[in-house]
Chains A and B, each alone.
Chain A
Amino acid sequence: MENKFYTDDFEQLLKEKSDQFRMYPSKRVWHSIYNDLHPGRKCPSVAMSMLLIIVLLLVGYLNTGDDTLNRKFTAAADEQAGDAKNNSKKVKNKNRPSSVKGENQQLINAGAEGPAGADNINSAAIADISFLTAADLATGLNNNLAAKHSGVTSVVAKEQPGSNGNAIFQKVDAYIKTNQIFTDIATVNKKKKTRAVAPSNSNNNQDMDEEELVADDPTGSKKIAGELKDADLTVNTLVVLPGLNNAQNAASGSEKSSTKKDLNAKKTLSAAEKSWIENYALLNRPSRRGKWKGRLAIELYTTPAINYRKLNMDTKGSPAGFTNADVNNNVSHKPGLGIEGGIGLSYSYAKNLRLKAGIQYNSTSYGIEADKTSHPILTSVLLNDASTGYSYYHTRTTILANPYNTTALQPVTLHNTTHQVSVPIGIAYKLASVNKLEWFAGASIQPTYVFGGNAYLVSADMKNYVSEPSIMRSWNLNTGFETYINYKLAGFTLQVGPQARYQLLSTYKKRYTLVEKPYAVGVKIGIVKVF
């Protein structure tokens, strides 16, 4: 039987109030739904962020001072200014002649009007400029530019047959009109302090407030450069004009004649320099040496060494068997032969300082004189209990006795060996250098991993030896000190010198009461190759 309840009002209340109830979800709910429904457009914010980052990087790259345009218009003058500096005389010149006369009047007239409204300068226009013919530029173009832009007297050109002088002029004019070139030149000039003299108007010489250098040559090529004022845009263009001959120069006008005389009085460029200007003026880009070139070197080396060890006690809590005896005086051990081999990189951080890092393999070994017993002997090794802080005896059986101060019946040599891989990180300082010889001193720290070896532990009463490789540390730390001579040969450098290596931490884990710190002395032989 089903019980009846007076339910209508109550249930109606529940339904009404529930329907009235609203909750507004968080944004992540819609984002999750969106991403599930549109997986291809997942995380649009991430895509937009990446796009923004790329745009910012692109803008940053384009706005760096290392731009191609600068080099196109300044490379020639920069290079030549450095060479011509010794062959040129400083003269002053300020403003370029505003009018020019001569045999190029036709071209002057043709290009006199120039482009109208050419405000947009793009890389295409700049690229075209590099292919102006020398004939075009040497004649009317230069004069046209001079006519329209005070101070501009010539433009760099590379031989390119078939160019249209007028069209080229328009592009160059449009480019210069934005003053982009002037600013670039000014920046480069100021950076490199490149100076050159334009074919000056002798009447304006005394008005010049900027120094310039002039280089002239028999063919009439002029190298012209100057520092620009940022405040006003009066221009001393940074240009090189190839192919101008003396006749053309002479025809440029009376204002230039005096200039030409001045120029002729100067020393000339060499034939090689002229050829370089004519062929590579705009396109020349100085080779950029890699940042690492000449500084980074790779080393291959090996170091045969003699290994020793020093023992100390590290008992905790109650005195134990080692207490009244110096363990070094109660064991017979002898040096052993070890080897080190590795490869490393060396970076010349400064003139005399090099940073070094690499990876190397070390094999260490030394001998322990022991006596083989005829039957197993019960002995004990002294260990440290980390939890209690006391040393305790750990019983072991062995057939190896310590024959110290006794005659060994069955002598045997035990070898405590280790096989290590380490990462030496250090520095080397050049102490002296003569011709091909360099003397260095260096130090390094070497995090080390021990991946194999043997360990024979002396018993608590020092009468026996117990084999226990598990007591060896896996990780350790070594230091290295070296001094060596570098001898430079063709293509590589020989390196030889003594080296000492010392282990900072005990060979054994802390629970063994004996602390062993081996050290090695050897001769390092290496070959160095500079990149």
Chain B
Amino acid sequence: MLAGCLKNNAAAQEALYSRFSPRMLGVCYRFAKNREDAEDMLQDGFIKVFTQIHQYRNEGALEGWIRRIVVHTCINILKKNKKFSDSVDIIHANSIHVKEEVIPSIMQAKQVVECIRTLPLGYRTVLNLYAIEGYSHKEIANMLDIEESTSRSQYTRAKAMLEEILIRKKIIQKQKKRTTFYGAVSPG
């Protein structure tokens, strides 16, 4: 399949797309505002995958390589559309109220993903990149053109907010030793 993609074989490309697109669309869906935006991100991502397939050096899993391209594509699209203007400033974090009525009643994985999507864009992006995609705050700061401390703060707040949502939805239970922050973060 990979060899066919290197030869720009359409059948091989379609096979690779069919194999990885469901999971990659799930990745895009966590970043996007809606399904249409997620599919647009997926489309751009896979075009980059196929055009840069010759750069894949069999170092690590192909899926991980594709995933990184797709995530970078999602970030670039969000930056290009200036979606981060919707993101929440730390100073105003206290005023955020989670609207439970926007969280649909869904099960398991999709439930969690939908809860993630309810977060403000900035929180959601940092949360996705750090907690799920495994990027460091330094890498996130470079990708989003923000300070590393901002990335840490955003993640802290995002996580707290998400935790609260999941607890309300009874997806998780509150643990006694957890410390939850809703105020401004002191630079450490």
Contacts and interface: CB of A to CB of B under 8 A. Distances in A.
A17 interface: yes
B110 A3 contact: no
B179 A21 contact: no
B132 A18 contact: yes
B8 A6 contact: no
A10 B179 CA distance: 13
B25 interface: yes
Contacts of A28: 39
B115 to A, nearest CB: 9
Contact of A34 (B10, B35, B113, B172): B10
Given A6-B177, A23-B29, A24-B22, A33 B109 contact: no
B184 interface: no
Contacts of A310: none
Nearest to B29: A23
A23 B131 contact: no
A378 interface: no
B30 A10 contact: no
B21 interface: yes
A18 B152 contact: no
A29 interface: yes
Contacts of A19: 23, 132
A2 B152 contact: yes
Contact of B156 (A5, A13, A18, A25): A5
A86 interface: no
A14 interface: yes
A13 B188 contact: no
Contact of B110 (A9, A21, A34, A41): A21
B55 interface: no
Nearest to A11: B131
A30 B14 contact: yes
Contacts of A7: 159
Contacts of A5: 156, 159, 178-179
Interface in B131-174: 131-132, 152, 156, 159, 162-163, 172
Contacts of A350: none
Given A30-B14, A34-B10, A6 B175 contact: yes
A1 B179 CA distance: 15
Nearest to A41: B10
B182 interface: no
Contact of B26 (A9, A13, A18, A26): A18
A30 B46 CA distance: 9
B87 interface: no
A352 B115 CA distance: 81
A19 B20 CA distance: 12
Nearest to B134: A15
B156 A3 contact: yes
Main secondary structure of the interface of B (DSSP, over half): helix
Given A5-B178, A15-B131, A10 B159 contact: yes
Contacts of B108: 17, 20
Contacts of A32: 43
A37 interface: yes
Contacts of A9: 175
B38 interface: yes
A38 interface: yes
Contact of B116 (A14, A26, A29, A30): A14
B125 interface: no
Contacts of B17: 30, 33
Interface in B49-63: 50-51
B75 interface: no
A34 B188 CA distance: 50
Contact of A1 (B30, B46, B111, B188): B188
B25 A24 contact: yes
B121 interface: no
A434 B156 CA distance: 105
Contact of A33 (B27, B47, B178): B47
A473 B156 CA distance: 72
A34 B10 CA distance: 8
A113 interface: no
A28 to B, nearest CB: 8
Contacts of A22: 22-23, 25-26
Interface string A36-67: 11100100000000000000000000000000
29 contacts: A3-B181, A5-B156, A6-B175, A6-B178, A7-B159, A9-B175, A10-B163, A14-B127, A14-B131, A14-B132, A17-B108, A17-B111, A18-B26, A18-B132, A19-B23, A21-B26, A21-B110, A21-B113, A22-B22, A23-B29, A23-B35, A25-B21, A29-B43, A30-B17, A32-B43, A33-B43, A36-B47, A37-B13, A41-B10
Interface of A: 1-7, 9-11, 13-15, 17-26, 28-30, 32-34, 36-38, 41
What 5 pairs across the A-B complex have the smallest Cβ distances? Answer: A17-B112, A20-B109, A1-B188, A21-B26, A23-B25
Given A14-B112, A23-B25, A29-B39, 6 more contacts: A2-B152, A17-B109, A21-B29, A23-B38, A28-B39, A33-B13
